[in-house]
């Protein structure tokens, strides 16, 4: 056998092995691949499962890829509206008059409450139409109520997304409606249409649930009448079919937002709470209305059967290494710190002893009030590794907040003067002692 033939045979063998290795990878269909972790058999473009309080990620697939979010965009509109109401800039009973743009969306394809130009409704009525029925006409009129124009409102949306750490998101409209379908009413967008990743959708949902939990009172409503008691009354069935009495009912689901366009396919950001634990789910790019809920069910079934909130420390407990915080200009130089509430953390059964707590305490300037936040508790595994979270900020705050256990008043000038003199002479004598020690050593 010649040397050349041997080389050819070796080359063919290597090629065959390479092809056999790659073949299974090449036959995987887009959207059917699984993330590292549980095999849930999801058929979507992307997905994520998160514990809502801590932001701990329990499952993920293609979670950082940006896709059209369709009406899940409205979660940001809801957030900004609720913020404006909380700040007193907008009132629930404030009357909104429908303009030409709102009337266009009342007639266009897509969800609407059939607003006509000149129609008058309160902010609360339009908010319910947006949160329950995903009404595009109601949504744009609310956006204009908050910011004057949709263009200005979109700027607020993108500013807030940046503030939240939503790195794979761009908002172009308040509704999620594609720009091309809005014609002359489309707000200018330098970077194209609406896009958002599953991770960013979960971040937005977490912010909504944390800062505006009252939203669940509306998103959990299965159906409601718009213009009730009038000849133009319209029945609004919630597009979230996992609510009680609807076709994909799942116990514990009380929000949050669906979405559908031709480009986005069928999407759903859901949330459910049972037995003291709440989860956030996101699925994007499902094939049908029912499919987005059946895929969400897989995530929730896994979550509720696998995880629960376990207590790592009771309220008012001291975390080793973070017993006290330094106080500047106070009657006391230190103040004891404790956990503001019990430290709860999502974990699987039997994992309680694998986690450890680490305190991060910051310096405070007097006066310090009892209950004032002075640090955070970080949860880490026994091997020093941390779980994965939506954002670094979620990881830092996963164990809760450390607070002052008592008041510390601001010291008077005389006490501060004597303290400074004492510190000065203390440092002088310490320096002399070190010098003498150096002579005799």
Same domain? 268 vs 346 = no
Task: Specify the pLDDT at position 381.
Answer: 80
Last residue of a domain, one of 289, 306, 323: 306
When divided into structural domains, the chain yields a total of 2
Same domain? 91 vs 198 = yes
Structure tokens at 21: 């290795």
Task: Specify the pLDDT at position 433.
Answer: 53
Please give the average per-residue pLDDT across 365-376, as a whole number: 94
- Banded model confidence at residue 383, pLDDT cuts 50, 70, 90: confident
Same domain? 197 vs 92 = yes
Kindly list the catalytic residues. Answer: 71, 74, 134
Last residue of a domain, one of 274, 306, 338: 306
Structure tokens at 240: 């979230």
Which residues constitute the domain of residue 193?
A: 46-306
**Which CATH number characterizes residue 395's domain?**
2.60.410.10
Same domain? 289 vs 359 = no
What residues have CB less than 8 Å from 214, skipping those under 6 apart? 82
**Which CATH number characterizes residue 70's domain?**
3.40.710.10
| Percentage above 70 pLDDT, the chain | 85
Query: In this predicted model, what pLDDT tens digit does every residue of 246-286 receive, in sequence order?
Result: 999 999 999 999 999 999 999 999 999 999 999 999 999 99
Query: In this predicted model, what pLDDT tens digit does every residue of 81-108 receive, in sequence order?
Result: 999 999 999 999 999 999 999 999 998 7
Q: Which three-class secondary structure state does DSSP give residue 144?
A: helix
Same domain? 297 vs 150 = yes
Q: 37 lies in a domain?
A: no
pLDDT for residue 26 is more than 60: no
Q: Give me the phi and psi of 45, to 5 degrees please.
A: -75, -35
Please give the average per-residue pLDDT across 367-373, as a whole number: 95
Please give the average per-residue pLDDT across 101-128, as a whole number: 95
Last residue of a domain, one of 306, 341, 372: 306
> 412 versus 35: which is more confidently predicted?
412
Same domain? 201 vs 61 = yes
Q: 128 lies in a domain?
A: yes
Same domain? 301 vs 376 = no
pTM recorded for the entire structure = 0.85
In the chain, what is the straight-line distance between the N-terminal and C-terminal CA atoms, in Å? 81
Q: Which three-class secondary structure state does DSSP give residue 63?
A: coil
The DSSP letter of residue 65 is -
Task: Specify the pLDDT at position 31.
Answer: 39
> Which spans in 3-44 are helix H?
3-26
Same domain? 146 vs 219 = yes
Task: Specify the pLDDT at position 413.
Answer: 55
Q: Could you give the C-alpha distances from 50 to 55, 125, 209, 356, 387, in angstroms and in order?
A: 6, 31, 13, 21, 12
- Banded model confidence at residue 404, pLDDT cuts 50, 70, 90: very high
Single out the residue of 287, 259, 315 nearest to residue 71, CA to CA: 259
Q: What is the CA radius of gyration of the chain?
A: 28
């Amino acid at each position: 056998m010649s040397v050349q033939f041997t080389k050819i045979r070796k080359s063919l063998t290597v090629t065959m092995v390479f092809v056999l290795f790659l073949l299974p990878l090449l036959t995987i269909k887009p959207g059917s691949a699984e993330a590292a972790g549980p095999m849930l058999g999801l058929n979507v473009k992307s997905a994520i499962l998160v514990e809502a309080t801590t932001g701990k990620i329990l499952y993920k697939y293609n979670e950082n890829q940006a896709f059209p979010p369709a009406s899940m965009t409205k979660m940001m509109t809801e957030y900004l509206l609720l913020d404006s109401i909380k700040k007193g800039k907008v009132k629930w009973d404030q009357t909104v008059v429908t303009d030409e743009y709102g009337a266009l969306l009342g007639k266009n394809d897509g969800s609407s409450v059939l607003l006509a130009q000149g129609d008058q409704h309160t902010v609360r009525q339009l908010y319910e139409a947006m949160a329950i029925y995903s009404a595009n006409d109601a949504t744009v009129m609310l956006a204009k109520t908050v910011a004057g124009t949709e263009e200005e409102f979109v700027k607020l949306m993108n500013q807030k997304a940046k503030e939240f750490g939503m790195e794979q998101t761009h908002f172009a409209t308040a509704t999620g409606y594609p720009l091309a379908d809005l014609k002359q009413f489309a707000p200018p967008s330098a970077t194209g249409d609406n896009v958002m990743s599953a991770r960013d959708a979960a971040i937005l949902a977490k912010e909504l649930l944390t800062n505006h939990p009252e939203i669940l009172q509306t998103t959990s409503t299965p159906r409601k009448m718009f213009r009730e008691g009038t000849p133009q009354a319209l029945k609004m069935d919630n597009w979230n079919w996992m609510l009680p009495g609807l076709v994909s009912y799942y116990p514990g689901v009380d929000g949050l937002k669906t979405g559908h366009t031709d480009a986005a396919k069928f999407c759903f950001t859901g949330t459910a709470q049972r037995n003291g634990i709440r989860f956030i789910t996101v699925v994007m790019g499902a094939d049908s209305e029912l499919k987005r809920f059946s895929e969400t069910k897989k995530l929730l079934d896994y979550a509720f059967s696998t995880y629960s909130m376990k207590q790592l420390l009771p309220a008012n407990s001291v975390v080793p290494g973070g017993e006290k915080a330094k106080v500047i200009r106070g009657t006391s130089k230190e103040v004891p710190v404790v956990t503001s509430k019990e430290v709860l953390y999502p974990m699987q059964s039997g994992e309680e002893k694998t986690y450890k707590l680490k305190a991060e305490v910051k310096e405070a300037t007097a006066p310090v009030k009892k209950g004032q936040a002075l640090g955070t508790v970080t949860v880490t595994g026994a091997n020093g590794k941390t779980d994965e979270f939506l954002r670094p900020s979620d990881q830092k705050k996963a164990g809760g907040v450390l607070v002052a256990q008592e008041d510390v008043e601001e010291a008077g000038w005389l006490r501060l003067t004597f303290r400074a003199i004492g510190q000065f002479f203390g440092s002088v004598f310490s320096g002399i002692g070190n010098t003498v020690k150096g002579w005799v050593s």
